[in-house]
């Protein structure tokens, strides 16, 4: 099924609008979180972990994060390494599958996530409200 030329142009324009909102929103999140030592991608990983493992001491396979963040597997591994150096997450090898890696939030990571969550959500509220105007 071919897309008509006019329809294709509208789809392309809509797609570019979505990309522009995403880029502006990520930049704003970076600015809001920078004073706390985090970027938008750092926060995204902490946020997913906080939702995935609400009980302190539980863990999540790194592989389960790959499809949920907009990073390659190697970039995600590097990001998790940085978060680990900062004491925000801990990694461990999966005993059942030595190729698997577990990641969990530390108390420091949970506390920082809770502290900056309102900042990130505030940016989302502002930026996404602007995009629908």
Q: Which of these ranges, 26-30, 40-44, 63-67, has the smallest mean pLDDT?
A: 63-67
Contact 42, 33 (CB under 8 A): yes
The confidence score (pLDDT) of residue 133 equals 60
> What pTM value is reported for the model?
0.84
Between residues 132 and 7, which one has the greater pLDDT? 7
Q: Quote the percentage of the chain above a pLDDT of 70.
A: 91
Cβ atoms < 10 Å from Cβ of 116: 21
Contact 91, 63 (CB under 8 A): no
Residue 84 predicted with pLDDT over 90: yes
The confidence score (pLDDT) of residue 132 equals 65
Q: How confident is the model at residue 94 (pLDDT cuts 50, 70, 90)?
A: confident
Residue 131 predicted with pLDDT over 70: no
Between residues 60 and 18, which one has the greater pLDDT? 18
Which candidate, 74, 57, 56, 54, places its Cα nearest to that of 66?
A: 74
What is the average per-residue pLDDT within 28-43? 97
As a whole number of angstroms, the distance between CA 119 and CA 44 comes to 13
Strand locations in the chain, DSSP E?
60-61, 89-93, 101-105
């Amino acid at each position: 099924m071919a897309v008509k030329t006019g329809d294709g142009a509208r789809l392309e324009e809509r797609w570019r609008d979505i990309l522009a909102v995403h880029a502006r929103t990520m930049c704003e999140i970076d600015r809001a979180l920078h004073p706390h030592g985090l970027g938008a991608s750092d926060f995204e990983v902490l946020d997913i972990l906080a939702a995935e493992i609400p009980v302190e001491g539980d863990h999540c396979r790194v592989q389960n994060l790959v499809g949920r963040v907009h990073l390659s597997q190697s970039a995600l591994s590097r990001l998790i390494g940085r978060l680990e150096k900062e004491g925000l997450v801990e990694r461990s090898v999966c005993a059942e599958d030595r190729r698997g890696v577990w990641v969990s939030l530390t108390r420091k990571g949970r506390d920082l996530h809770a502290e900056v969550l309102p900042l990130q959500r505030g940016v989302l509220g502002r930026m996404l409200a602007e995009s629908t105007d």
